[in-house]
Amino acid sequence: MTTLVDLRMVSKNHDRYEQAVRSRPAVQRAIAYFQDNIGKITSTEDFMKDDKLYRFVLEAFDLGSQAKSRGLIRKVLEEGVSDQSSTANRMSDSKFREMATILGFAENDGDNLKQPAVVQAIVDRYVDVTLEVESEDRNPAVRLGLYFQRRSANVTNWYQVMADNALRKVVYTALGLPDQTALLDVDKQKALLEKRMDIADLKSPAKVAKFLDRFAAMYDMRNGGSTGTAAMPSIGPISRSGRASVISIDPSITMTLMKFPRF
């Protein structure tokens, strides 16, 4: 099966696959523990001591690979985001800043985590990330595509793309740029990208869908065609969840209700 077919199938039936993830006992236990305990956390120190909460949150913010970097995570959370010279604000990967902003230990002792909408948004994102990670077993390109689909609306400049390995892989593959392009000076990379694509297109779901079709086709061209892997498990009829979380609602509504950036 081709990457294009794989990616379209998962995207079209996303709610079904997501519900299958939510229904697993291990995932349900992880979510229940997070919901029951995260509101009790008032400091970075408390958070770092609870390994279950720590790993759940890092996974939700796409930072699971950084779980062993406890010193870095501590600095990111303790310094917060109010100071422009803080660790989170100086890092090229915006996910660290997103996590520090949402957890808010430095700014408000974690009061954000007492808001049900924030807790639910983190849970929803944990489920999304879990689905993406598992899709890699079928086809690594599907994980990349799903990640890009989720993150693209928050991209406002090409430097964000260049700083994120997965976003960069999707964009450079779709635009036919060789991997060696990433070795160029960042301003030269930015100029190349600007000539090939209007970054504002990432705000349009329809244009993102077409862009991902192009990525899928180019990925197979580069990697020898169809994936030839086992099919995704059958998970029943489509049923739209109808959820509206901090991740999915309009940014202007989020700013009004939640008082911090969409993530």
Identical fold between 1-135 and 140-228:
yes
98/17 Cα distance (integer angstroms): 26
- CATH topology for 140-228 is AGR_C_984p-like (1.10.3700)
Domain residues of the chain, as ranges? 1-135, 140-228
Give tens-digit pLDDT for 184-220. Answer: 999 999 999 999 999 999 999 999 999 999 999 999 9
Say how far apart CA 185 and CA 14 lie, in whole Å: 37
| Lowest mean pLDDT, pick from 37-41, 131-135, 158-162, 257-261 | 257-261
Which of 7-11, 12-16, 48-52, 138-142 holds the top average pLDDT? 48-52
Average of pLDDT values for 153-179?
93
Amino acid 226: pLDDT = 56
Per the listing, tokens 């390994």 go with 51
DSSP letter (8 states) at residue 23:
T
> HEC profile for 190-234?
HHHHHHHCCHHHHHCHHHHHHHHHHHHHHHHHHHCCCCCCCCCCC
The string of pLDDT tens digits covering residues 41-75 is 999 999 999 999 999 999 999 999 999 999 999 99
For the stretch 74-99, pLDDT in tens is 999 999 999 999 999 999 889 999 99
- Single pTM value for the model: 0.80
Which CATH code is given to the segment(s) 1-135?
1.10.3700.10
CB atoms < 10 A from the CB of 105, how many? 23
